[in-house]
Amino acid sequence: MVGDLDELGVLAAPGILPRRAFVWRPPGYDPALTYPVLYMHDGHNLVDPATSSYGADWQVDEVAAALIAAGRIEPLLIVGAECTADRMEEYGDTDAGRAYLRFLAEDLKPLVDGRYPTRPGRESAVVMGSSMGGLISFLALFLYGEAFGGAGCLSPAFPEALCDRVAAAPWPEHPFRLYLDNGGLGLDAELQPGLDRMLEVLQAKGFRPGESLDVVGDPAAEHFEDAWAARVWRPLEFFFGIG
C-alpha cells in the first residue's frame, strides 16, 4: 500500500445492499490543504490484490502516488465503494442503479465532504469505473450533474437504449469532462459498438476530443483489471493533470 487508507465502515442506503467504503489519502496528505476527489466503484479491486475478485488490482494507489510525485497530477483523495452481490442491477440503468447513485450523491459524497478537506465545486468531484462501473459513472453525470463534474468510463457497457435516451435529452446542462476508453479483445470488442454509438451522440451534443472529451483505444487490451491498471494513469492525468 502506498499512501493511507481510512475505512468509512459498512454503509447502508435505501434500495441497495450495504457496502464497505474507504478513502485513500496520498503520501504527504495535509489536512490544511483542499483536495479534489475521485469516487470509484468496485472498491475491493482498486488497491489490494488480496481483496480483488480475480487476484489483480488496479494499483490505483501506486499509480496515483507516482504521478503526484512526478508532478504530473495534483494530490487527490480517492474514495472506493465496494460492489455487492447485486452489482449488475446496482450499476445498471435500473431502479437499483438510481438508488446507488442517490447513495453516491446524497450519502457518500456529503460524508466525505464532512470529514475531509475536499475542494468545493462539482468540477472537483469525478466518478470512475470499468465495464458496468463505466456505465454507472456515465449515469452519475447524466442524472446527478449538479454533484459530479467528470466521469471516467473504462471499457463501458453502454446499451443502445441509453444511447437513444441521451440523444433525445436536453443535455448537458452543466459543463462536463468525460474520459472513455476500450480494449480490442474479448468482451471489450463486443462492447465497442455501444461505445461508438455513444461517441456519436456525445459529439453531436458538443463534446470534442481534446477538450471536454478524451477517447483512448488499446487494441491489445482485454476486459480485465490488469488492462485497466495499465491505463488508469490516462484518466488520472485527464482529470487531475498539472499544466
Kindly report the backbone phi and psi dihedral angles of residue 203, in degrees, each rounded to the nearest multiple of 5, phi listed first.
-70, -30
233 with 196: CB under 8 angstroms? no
Q: Helix H segments across the chain?
A: 60-69, 87-90, 95-102, 109-115, 132-143, 160-168, 187-204, 225-231, 233-240
Do 185 and 221 meet the contact criterion of CB atoms below 8 Å apart?
yes
213-218 β-sheet, strand order: 4-13, 16-25, 77-81, 37-40, 125-130, 150-154, 177-183, 213-218
**pLDDT, tens digit (0-9, with 9 covering 90-100), for 97-139:** 999 999 999 999 999 999 999 999 999 999 999 999 999 999 9
CA proximity to 233, closest of 218, 212, 211: 218
pLDDT in tens, 77-87: 999 999 999 99
Q: What percent of the chain has pLDDT over 90?
A: 87
Q: Which residues partner with 23 through β-bridges? A: 6, 79
Q: 4-240 belongs to which homologous superfamily?
A: Alpha/Beta hydrolase fold, catalytic domain (3.40.50.1820)
Sequence ranges of the domains in the chain: 4-240
- Span between the terminal Cα atoms of the chain, in Å: 28
Q: Is the pTM of this model over 0.85?
A: yes
pLDDT tens readout for residues 147-203: 999 999 999 999 999 999 999 998 777 789 999 999 999 999 999 999 999 999 999
Work out the pLDDT band at 94, boundaries 50, 70, 90.
very high
What is d(CA 98, CA 129) in angstroms, rounded to the nearest whole number?
Answer: 16
Closest by Cα among 160, 157, 109 to 133: 157
Q: Which residues pair with 4 in a beta bridge?
A: 25
Average pLDDT, the chain: 95
What number is the average pLDDT over the span 73-98? 97
Q: What is the pLDDT of residues 19-55, one digit of tens each?
A: 999 999 999 999 999 999 999 999 988 998 888 877 8
pLDDT tops 90 at residue 209: no
Mean pLDDT is lowest, of 86-90, 173-177, 222-226, for: 173-177
Task: Name the residue among 156, 161, 124 with its Cα closest to residue 240.
Answer: 124
> Average pLDDT of 237-243?
93
